[in-house]
Amino acid sequence: MTTWLPTLITATPEEGYNLAVKMARVAVKMTQPDAEVREKLRPVYANDADALIASSQVVATHFATVAAANGYWHKPS
């Protein structure tokens, strides 16, 4: 069985951020599995500053988790 999230480990912070965005998108799909409903809702939140800020906060939370899992990408001295 293939999993969509086999690891939180990424090579770079940019890859980690991309993973955080993917995590947020998957959460939306799991919460609302009907693609047609998601498409209908998109114009509503796409023009709502509060909704956009809230989605940024979700991504930031996921990024903090990914960054911690990666030791904040510090290389040993």
d(CA 6, CA 53): 28
Residue 2 pLDDT class (50, 70, 90 cuts): confident
Q: Kindly report the average pLDDT of the chain as a whole number.
A: 95
Tell me the pLDDT tens digit for each residue of 27-51.
999 999 999 999 999 999 999 999 9
For residue 35, give Cα distances in angstroms to 4, 29, 49, 62, 73.
18, 8, 23, 23, 35
For residue 70, give Cα distances in angstroms to 20, 39, 45, 52, 63.
13, 34, 32, 27, 10
Beta strands in 1-77 (DSSP E): none
**Domain spans in the chain, listed from the N-terminal domain onward:** 13-69
